[in-house]
């Protein structure tokens, strides 16, 4: 139920993203949409919060990657070896993104294809070993536990917005994005449901497993099958980390282009056209997050922030339809205001289930963002002053 509800919510949100995004083809994604709809302050906050989600996401996925590497090399996820491995991962992905978006995208595509093969094996073979008795409720779930499950899954379904951040570097985005986003959503939902059914049906004590796919595969494929799943998980998380760094590095660049942060961040490589300084700062932040963040805390705060940013884009759809001073939408969502309203209600329902501690953390992040905005706004950029003097 949680997977279906979350998939439906993300589908509604994607419809809003497609229409709003089709009006603004530049780089920036949700940051650009919020800035053009609600003004520079809202835009800055959106960019700041989205950047934080990319940083925390990197830390979450890197932690998962390291836990699966620990299967192949025991104790590699501790002490000095963890430090060195995190450093190596960040450096390799930074080098891939440094040489251009085309190389980074190709890397993500290759890893995406390779990771699907073990998942197909897991679902197809595992389906024959599912025990129906494992699906009996010991205690019927209530709406609160269902909402909490959906909150966790928001992170699992998220990431599509990263593609919209790079719109300025995509050919024919109005044609590419509708197909790509919905195809991906359907594919992801199909695999998530299949994987979940097999995992529940084959692995007793699933709730205590730290490597559930590998442990479940061991039950019906043996050690060799588990190894295949481990390799697939490593490829999957590597691709996600690469895509996250790609999208995250474009956010400071977009903020700098809008003159909301120092021009230091809008420098691009003369040959590869990548935002090199923005990439380096983002990579450094990801590296620090991997070494310091707690997995559970990073996961919960990430989901809450994502819901807020998604809600802002959904709210922009009906507002932009009533404005005549914005570009025409190249993609129009049928019953758009109703779609946006349904998405907003579902986001509000999930946010109402967040704990006070999580909401305080998000509020603190917003306050920090507001402080940064004020500090930057009170200082004139040297390049701007020079232009005015000239």
User: Which tokens in the block code for residue 353?
Assistant: 């289930």
Is residue 388 included in any domain, yes or no?
Answer: no
Give the domain range for residue 88.
2-383
pLDDT of residue 174: 65
Is residue 16 included in any domain, yes or no?
Answer: yes
pLDDT of residue 390: 40
Residues with Cβ within 8 Å of 67's Cβ and at least 6 positions away in sequence, in order, are 77, 210, 211
Q: Which residue has the tokens 């890197």?
A: 62
Is residue 72 included in any domain, yes or no?
Answer: yes
Alpha helix segments (H runs only) across the chain: 2-23, 30-38, 40-72, 79-98, 101-126, 143-157, 160-165, 173-202, 212-257, 276-292, 295-321, 336-351, 356-377, 382-389
Q: Which residue has the tokens 């004139």?
A: 380
pLDDT (tens, 9 = 90+) of the chain, 390 residues, equals 899 999 999 999 999 988 888 888 776 678 888 988 998 888 889 888 888 888 888 998 998 888 888 878 888 878 888 899 999 999 988 888 777 666 666 766 777 777 778 888 899 999 999 998 888 877 777 888 888 889 889 888 887 776 666 555 566 666 777 788 888 888 889 989 999 999 999 998 888 887 888 889 888 888 888 888 888 888 888 878 887 787 778 778 777 777 777 766 666 655 655 677 888 888 999 999 888 877 777 788 888 999 999 999 999 999 999 998 888 888 888 999 999 999 999 999 998 888 888 888 888 989 988 888 888 777 755 544 444 444
pLDDT of residue 5: 92
> How many domains does one find in the chain?
1
Question: In the Cβ-directed half-sphere of 181, how many Cα atoms lie within 13 Å?
Answer: 26
The closest alpha carbon to 255, from 53, 54, 99, 45, belongs to 45
User: Rounded to an integer, what distance in angstroms lies between the CA atom of residue 179 and that of residue 248?
Assistant: 23
User: Rounded to an integer, what distance in angstroms lies between the CA atom of residue 258 and that of residue 250?
Assistant: 12
The closest alpha carbon to 9, from 331, 340, 305, 309, belongs to 340
pLDDT of residue 389: 44
User: Rounded to an integer, what distance in angstroms lies between the CA atom of residue 181 and that of residue 311?
Assistant: 18
User: Which tokens in the block code for residue 5?
Assistant: 């509800």
Is residue 389 included in any domain, yes or no?
Answer: no
DSSP state letters, 159-200: -HHHHHHTGGGSSSHHHHHHHHHHHHHHHHHHHHHHHHHHHH
pLDDT of residue 246: 78
Is residue 390 included in any domain, yes or no?
Answer: no
Residues with Cβ within 8 Å of 318's Cβ and at least 6 positions away in sequence, in order, are 336, 337, 340, 341
What are the Cα distances from residue 110, in Å, to 49, 90, 106, 114, 370?
29, 19, 6, 6, 39
Is residue 139 included in any domain, yes or no?
Answer: yes
CATH number for the domain spanning 26: value is 1.20.1740.10
Find the distance separating the first CA and the last CA of the chain, reported in whole Å.
Answer: 62
Is residue 152 included in any domain, yes or no?
Answer: yes
pLDDT of residue 346: 93
Is residue 226 included in any domain, yes or no?
Answer: yes
User: Rounded to an integer, what distance in angstroms lies between the CA atom of residue 228 and that of residue 336?
Assistant: 44
For residues 300-314, one letter each, b for 16 or more C-beta atoms within 10 angstroms of the residue's C-beta and e for the rest, the string is bbbbbbbbbbbbbbb
User: Rounded to an integer, what distance in angstroms lies between the CA atom of residue 121 and that of residue 134?
Assistant: 21
Q: Which residue has the tokens 């991962």?
A: 89
């Amino acid at each position: 139920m949680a997977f279906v509800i979350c998939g439906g919510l993300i589908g509604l949100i994607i419809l809003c993203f497609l229409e709003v995004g089709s009006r603004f083809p530049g780089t920036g994604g949700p940051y650009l949409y919020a800035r053009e709809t609600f003004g520079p302050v809202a835009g800055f906050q959106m960019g700041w919060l989205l950047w934080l989600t990319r940083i925390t996401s990197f830390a979450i996925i890197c932690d998962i990657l390291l836990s699966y590497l620990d299967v192949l090399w025991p104790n590699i996820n501790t002490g000095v070896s963890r430090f060195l491995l995190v450093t190596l991962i960040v450096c390799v992905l930074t080098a891939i993104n440094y040489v251009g978006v085309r190389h980074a995208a190709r890397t993500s595509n290759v890893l995406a294809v390779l990771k699907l093969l073990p998942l197909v094996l897991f679902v197809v073979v595992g389906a024959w070993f599912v025990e129906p008795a494992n699906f009996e409720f010991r205690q019927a779930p209530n709406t609160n536990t269902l909402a909490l499950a959906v909150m966790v899954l928001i992170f699992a379904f998220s990431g599509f917005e990263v593609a919209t951040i790079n719109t300025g570097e995509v050919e024919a985005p109005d044609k590419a994005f509708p197909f790509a986003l919905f195809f991906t959503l359907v594919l992801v939902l199909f695999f998530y449901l299949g994987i979940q059914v097999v995992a529940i049906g084959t692995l007793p004590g699933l709730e205590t497993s730290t490597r559930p796919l590998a442990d479940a595969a061991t039950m019906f494929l043996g050690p060799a099958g588990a190894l295949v799943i481990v390799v697939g998980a490593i490829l999957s998380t590597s691709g996600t980390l690469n895509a996250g760094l790609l999208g995250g590095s474009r956010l400071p660049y977009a903020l700098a282009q809008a003159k909301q942060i120092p021009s230091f961040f809008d420098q691009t490589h003369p040959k590869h056209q990548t935002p090199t300084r923005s990439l380096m700062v983002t990579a450094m932040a990801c590296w620090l997050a991997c070494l310091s963040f707690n997995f559970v805390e990073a996961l919960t705060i990430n989901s809450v922030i994502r819901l807020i940013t998604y809600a802002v884009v959904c709210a922009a759809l009906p507002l932009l339809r009533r404005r005549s001073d914005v570009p025409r939408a190249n993609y129009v969502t049928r019953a758009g205001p109703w779609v946006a309203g349904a998405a907003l209600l579902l986001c509000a329902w999930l946010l109402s289930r967040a704990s006070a501690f999580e909401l305080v953390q998000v509020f603190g992040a917003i306050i920090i963002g507001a402080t940064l905005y004020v500090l930057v706004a009170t200082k004139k950029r040297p390049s701007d002053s020079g232009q005015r003097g000239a």
